[in-house]
Amino acid sequence: MTAEDYLNGQVILIDKPLGWSSFQAVNKIKWALLKHLKLKKLKIGHAGTLDPLATGLLVLCTGKYTKKITEFQDAVKEYTGTFTLGATRPSYDMETEVDAVFETGHLSEEIIKSTTAKFIGQIEQYPPAFSAIKKDGKRLYELAREGKSVELTARKIQIFEFEITHIALPEVGFRVVCGKGTYIRSLAHDFGKALDSGAYLSALRRTKTGNFNVRNAVAPQQFVDGLM
């Protein structure tokens, strides 16, 4: 592809590795393109952040296609991953240590699978205290790391599909199809509450954004190597 192609606009599908921030992935692609195409500048951005602890589909837009970012961010997304039952963590995921432990002896496959029905449709969800949402000019995760408590506001979100894919307690595999603004970490936390047992998100992978599928994505280094 030529410099003109990327300036006019391209969609690049990246499979973000574990431990990378979305910014790191975008930066890797951006600098590789600038060098390869001998450009001084190139607009590039992503349509929806993935946490460093998550892997999967990151939709990148270049040039004039950066105007499509909001459209792609608003698209329905699919995630797969693992909830760990019987404990909670302040961040609702693996970023922080376990702060409470709960019984899981009362849980059966039938109870776990049937509880998903409570979360289908339009529901209210509180974002995690450790999130990038801003409050008084600071991101919530910054306030949380400073030990400051923040009053969170519930938001309406849409869950179209929620299925349990495997059960090997304390781990439970899932697949979720949801609308914009959904926090899978919060879903894990709320799911644990509904089961009368704690839960946190222990693995997450974004598999789809709108019509884009992670099966068609490449790792950042694979994309860079393909330019040579």
Question: Is the pTM of the predicted complex or chain greater than 0.85?
Answer: yes
Length of the chain: 228
Q: How far apart are CA 14 and CA 192, in angstroms?
A: 32
Structural contact between residues 92 and 188, judged by C-beta atoms closer than 8 angstroms: yes
What three-state secondary structure class fits 79?
A: strand
- Which pLDDT value is given to residue 154? 87
Q: How far apart are CA 200 and CA 192, in angstroms?
A: 8
Mean pLDDT of 111-122: 97
CB-facing half-sphere around the CA of 107: CA atoms within 13 A: 26
Q: How far apart are CA 70 and CA 74, in angstroms?
A: 6
Mean pLDDT of 169-182: 96
- Which pLDDT value is given to residue 167? 97
- Which pLDDT value is given to residue 27? 96
Least confident of 6-20, 56-70, 151-165, 198-212: 151-165
Nearest to 191 by CA among 174, 179, 203, 205: 174
Which residues are identified as catalytic?
51
* Predicted confidence (pLDDT) at residue 146 exceeds the cutoff of 60: no
Query: Token pair of 207, please?
Result: 């598999």
- Which pLDDT value is given to residue 106? 96
Q: How far apart are CA 107 and CA 197, in angstroms?
A: 9
Structural contact between residues 52 and 17, judged by C-beta atoms closer than 8 angstroms: no
pLDDT category, 61, cuts 50, 70, 90? very high
pLDDT category, 147, cuts 50, 70, 90? low
Query: Token pair of 228, please?
Result: 């040579």
Buried-exposed string 149-172: b where 16+ CB fall within 10 A, e elsewhere: eeebeeeebebeebebeeeeebeb
Q: State the chain's mean pLDDT as an integer.
A: 91
What is the largest distance, in Å, between two alpha-carbon atoms of the chain? 62
